[in-house]
Amino acid sequence: MCNLAIARYSTVRLRALSSGVLIDEEGILYSAGSAAELGLGRGAELAKAALRRSELNKVALTMRNDFPRGAGLGGSSAAGVALQAALATWCGEHVPPTALAERSRAVEVEELHVPGGSQDHYAAALGGALALHFGETVTARHIPLSHDLVRAIERRCSVVFTGQSRISGQTITAVLDAYRARQPRVVGALARMRELAEQMIVALERGSLDDLAALVGEHWEHQRALHPRITTPAIEHVLAAARAAGAIGGKALGASGGGSVLVIASEERATQVRAALAGLAAPLDFMVDVEGVRVNVEQ
């Protein structure tokens, strides 16, 4: 798999309390006498699950996100990694980024029973462009990005939010069920998507954004074939308008069913593509993030 981290962040802060636990997520407060008493439901599920799993008490946790909920940008994984980094540091642990990614995924899968892969957790933890291979363990390799290529990505790529919340859990489960049943349409599409991901890695290594854009466009054609609910009229409208304005390729992000759309324009038509999309969906400005998770300790 090939992915690229963008500079849209989840920020977690911890401070000591004399007793109990307190969560402040986007200004909404949740409190309990202990982490074990933080029940499911009514919001802040990821933060509650992370605190329960850590068995950490006498702490106040504040979380803020600078991405829309349900945007398909891997936001829950970014929040999960930020939580694990903050909790590890609070407890005096020195945990490498790959282990933070695995801890974050474990909370989602084992505590919240959210289906999904590891790729977004590794992107949040490691940053940059990654070549990911999945077996008994995950192998992550940074793809070197030149300064000129990073600037070209930021100049020629547009990400817009359709305003629709995606249904990733339901969609992923349906696709997995079809794969286990060996449905030819799904098996074939996933096999081709894997081949395309390997070719995307090569395109980035060569610094060819045109090739990457064409591969992204083909990848979407196979992704949307996995399940009828992966695409939506809003997504298809955005992609059609982008192509008409000069985009080489594009796709919906995440498991889709809504969320955000990425389009990659030709060098000459980047401004026109952005203008064509402005009235169709909310633009999400971004830069490429090359650092991954970061921790600051305040005395």
pLDDT in tens, 53-93: 999 999 999 999 998 888 889 999 999 999 999 999 999 99
Question: Model confidence over 181-198: pLDDT tens digits?
Answer: 999 999 999 999 999 999
**Predicted pLDDT at 265:** 97
Structural domains of the chain, count: 2
Can you tell me the mean pLDDT for 155-161? 96
**Predicted pLDDT at 41:** 79
| Lookup: tokens for 291 | 């650092």
- β-strand pairing of 247-252 with 59-65: unpaired
Judge if 89 and 105 occupy the same domain.
yes
Can you tell me the mean pLDDT for 19-44? 92
Phi, psi (rounded to 5 degrees) for 257: 80, 15
**Predicted pLDDT at 119:** 92
CATH number of the domain residue 236 falls in: 3.30.70.890
Judge if 94 and 187 occupy the same domain.
no
Q: Is 254 left (phi over 0), alpha (psi -120 to 50) or beta?
A: left
Question: Model confidence over 98-111: pLDDT tens digits?
Answer: 999 999 999 999 99
First to last CA, the chain: 40
C-alpha–C-alpha distance, residues 238 and 278, integer Å: 10
Judge if 215 and 259 occupy the same domain.
yes
Host domain of residue 152? 147-283
CB 231 within 8 A of CB 256: yes
277 has pLDDT over 70: yes
Q: Report if residue 236 sits inside a domain.
A: yes
**Predicted pLDDT at 166:** 63
168 has pLDDT over 70: no
Question: Model confidence over 117-152: pLDDT tens digits?
Answer: 899 999 999 999 999 999 889 999 999 999 999 999
Domain boundary residue among 98, 113, 143? 143
pTM given for the model: 0.92
